[in-house]
Chain A
Amino acid sequence: MAAEEWKPKIIGLLCNWCSYAGADLAGGGRIQYPPDVRVVRVMCTGRLDQLFVLKAFADGADGVLVSGCHFGDCHYLEGNFKGAKRMFMVKRLMKSIGLDDRRFRMTFVSASEGAKWATVITDVVKTVKELGPSPITEFSK
């Protein structure tokens, strides 16, 4: 596979109030970043089952990004905290099954952090590109 051509499949699971709004703000500000992340919006990262992340990896995602409000800033008081606890569990699980846990990231981007959103995406895409295609995709070929 030509390394230049390969486009990673990355899914972003975003909360409506902070990170999705932050991503919209980056758009309003025309802050450019790589187009490799596809976004699914939920109301709160507390909504996210760890199985959603695992399902994405099982489906062949090269990277998964979960992004919510900063702690203490959750629109639903503490949903992000409860979501984050589950997500840290995913990280540990990934390590134990031999999937590089840098493929999964949880970040906290507020509605006013458009520039930070662009930085996060740029960095996630860079990291996943460095790691290459997911071993799950390779395995199931």
Chain B
Amino acid sequence: MMAEKKKAGSKKMEAKKETPKQAAPVPKKAPATAAPASGKKEQTRIGVFICHCGTNIAGSMNIEAVQEYAKTIPNVGYVDNYKYMCSMPGQAVINKAIKDNKLTGVVVAACSPRLHEPTFRTATKEGGLNPFRFEMANIREQNSWVHMHDQEGSTEKAKDAIRIAVAKASLLQDLFPKAVPVEHAAMVVGAGVAGMQAALDLAAAGIKTYLIESQPSIGGRMSQLDKTFPTLDCSQCILTPKMVDVGRAANIELMTYSEVDAVEGYIGNFDVTIRKKARGVLSMPEAEAKGMVGGGCNGCGDCEAPCPVIKPNEFEVGMKPRKAIYISHPQVVPLLYTIDFDSCIKCGLCVTACGEKKAIDLEAKDEFVKVKVGTAILATGYDMFPVEKKTEWGYKKFENVISSLEFERLICASGPTSGHIIRPSDGETPKRVAFVLCAGSRDNTGNGKPYCSRFCCMYSLKHAHQIYEKIPGVQSYLFYMDIRSFGKMYEEFYYRIQDEGAKFIRGRVANILEDPATKNLHVYTDDTLLNRPVDMEVDLVVLAAAVQPKEDTDRTRKLFGVSCSMDGWLLEAHPKLNPCGTTTAGVFLAGVCQGPKDIPDTVASAEGAASAASIPIHMGEVELEPYFATCIEEKCAGCGMCVNLCPYSALALVEKEGRQVMEVTEAKCKGCGTCGGFCPGGAIWMNHFATPQIVAQIDAFLLGGEQ
């Protein structure tokens, strides 16, 4: 078998071309329009178009030499170059050359196909060719930009890249994208401010939206905050109307205390399995559905009082107790109690207290719900960096060193101290407060995060303002490296806090020590502006902790096939051209799961993601790239190995003419080629990445143009 394949590879190009063309059942859909590919022998004439990209490419290589060389490559019928191939005049060059020279294929040597393949496919189509008769030679990202000072090496590499591309273009076939209908529904994972905004926008656009939240209540991080910078709006006051809207919107199906369990399918047709965690409490609609008139949880709280289990309330960062049956704070949406089954001792006191409402079921089990959606938005948010890892600052060691999120809860009127800032050690009101910025951010020691967390400067300024508001005569000290007040009205807010009397000391805090007698803290640093060491005694230290990707980010992203960047945040398709999209078509990102963002940026990104996610749904159908596997039936031995290899169950053995052969379900096939890479009989033809095409590329490079 090996010998057979090798032979096929090293034979003349013409011979290679024939086998697949006869065998591949490609023009299934539109045989009439596929005239050039169907049977009739055509003379291969490839047009090569070399882009200068200004000086991006032309500055690092000899375009003229590349062009002269391209003319000598077999099958090349036309060569041209242009300053900006992607510009309208550049595309017109391609368009005209296809018609004038009866080209059968197009090669553009320019940037990465990941950037401009769609552009040039369109240009190819406008010239009258099938858009899949196009191949790109990457001579920018993978050549001129990375060999900037090696003119000769760069030029030679470009020649080879074009020769490789021409070899493939010579064997390309007409392909026809498959249009699939898009389910008129979307899903948003995470119901913080980003997820809520995205869901509200989608719902307003008339799209049925499933909003999935892992916590018992929606609201996310923003609901834990007291005020927002720089306007000093009350966080809850601007968030709760949105929360209530989400609860009310007819188009939003809210699923709290639920997680995505499995995702199958592709853009337009995602089959999502959602695990509704056992809550142990029936909502009123659920009770009604079960025929319990007047039953279900009405949020009265009678169950909470008798519960004997006391746990720290996560919403209050552990500074307030909760019971095993609880709501985390008064403004929860939906207003529905939840049993923490990890702590519940099933004593049944709550069941008795609930009485006739019969809302509590101590034997509740997780339920699985399946939904079908066209697109999905991930808005899974962030975790706080465990700042105790920076042992030099004594968090969780010294009582009066607290984190910024603890500060938010302490200063919030609904928090554990009803809005009074106190020293945890003695309950006294602090008179000197230090704020340590970049607590874990911009830290290359390996024990922190290298990136800037982007909103800590601003919330620390806000914290400083808030203590001036609440504690007369207080003094605040902000230890900072740089104050990054980059947003609208942010710099002005910075000036305002300076005027209010906050002291700014530029220097990263080296360490913090506690005076055991008073529990006061000594903050040590170097004032790098005055060039002198600092030992500041304060009553309370607030660490502006870094943020980091959510603990289960890896699980989430693998469910949806989304990549992550070096620091673990979810990766967008392109930071500038497609900031809300991902490499998985139909999956979008909103909010901080993509990287640190303040609330305005989060909401803006959520609206962007909602808009992007609504487009395929409103279009009604999407075109899938036709890189499907196809079976060359006369070569198929029906061994079925490919059937087991396919991760999408797209392949099956079927009976045809008295024997078993493989059959592909095109809608399920994503074109990875795992089957084609394995098939021992060479019976699988991968559209656009067929074995003869890849072998031709290898040969073109290693055996030169003359094959």
Contacts and interface: CB of A to CB of B under 8 A. Distances in A.
Interface of A: 7, 9, 11, 16-18, 20-21, 23-24, 26-28, 30-36, 38-44, 46-49, 51-52, 54-56, 58-61, 69, 72-73, 75-79, 82-83, 86, 110-113, 118
Contact of A78 (B147, B149, B647): B647
B571 interface: yes
B677 interface: yes
B36 interface: no
B674 A76 contact: yes
Which 8 residue pairs across A and B have the least CB separation, nearest first? Answer: A27-B141, A47-B673, A46-B674, A76-B672, A35-B153, A59-B702, A27-B145, A44-B672
B159 to A, nearest CB: 10
A11 B148 contact: no
Contacts, number: 164
A116 to B, nearest CB: 9
B558 A72 contact: yes
A74 B559 CA distance: 11
7 contacts: A20-B112, A24-B115, A28-B141, A38-B160, A47-B686, A58-B10, A59-B702
A17 B573 CA distance: 10
B2 interface: yes
A51 B694 CA distance: 11
Contact of B677 (A11, A17, A30, A47): A47
A10 to B, nearest CB: 10
A104 to B, nearest CB: 14
A44 B674 contact: yes
Interface in B649-677: 670-674, 676-677
B66 interface: no
Contact of A38 (B9, B157, B672): B157
A14 B674 CA distance: 14
Contact of A112 (B154, B156, B566): B566
B564 interface: yes
B670 A40 contact: no
A3 B308 CA distance: 81
B148 A79 contact: no
Given A35-B156, A35-B157, A46-B674, A56 B571 contact: no
Size category of the B interface is: 35 or more
B627 interface: yes
Nearest to B143: A35
Given A11-B701, A28-B141, A111-B583, A55 B9 contact: yes
B701 to A, nearest CB: 5
Contact of B153 (A34, A56, A59, A77): A34
Interface in B530-582: 558, 561, 563-566, 571
B703 to A, nearest CB: 5
Contact of A51 (B6, B112, B147, B149): B6
A21 B627 CA distance: 19
Interface string B112-125: 11110000000000
Contact of A55 (B6, B563, B674): B6
Nearest to B142: A23
A79 B147 CA distance: 31
B689 interface: yes
B589 interface: no
Given A43-B689, A47-B672, A112-B563, A56 B677 contact: no
B697 interface: yes
Choose among B141, B156, B648 the residue with the greatest number of A CB atoms under 10 Å from its CB.
B141
Given A38-B701, A61-B702, A111-B583, 10 more contacts: A9-B702, A17-B563, A28-B141, A38-B164, A41-B113, A47-B672, A55-B698, A78-B647, A82-B645, A112-B566
Contacts of B156: 7, 35
Contact of A11 (B115, B566, B647, B698): B698
B399 to A, nearest CB: 40
B672 A43 contact: yes
Contacts of B112: 20, 24, 27
A111 to B, nearest CB: 5
A96 B581 CA distance: 47
B259 interface: no
Contacts of B561: 75, 77
Interface in B130-158: 138, 140-143, 145-150, 153-154, 156-157
Contacts of A69: 563
B223 interface: no
Interface string B28-59: 00000000000000000000000000000000
Contacts of A42: 673, 689, 694
Contact of B583 (A52, A58, A75): A75
Nearest to A116: B566
A32 B60 CA distance: 12
Given A43-B672, A58-B6, A112-B565, A33 B647 contact: no
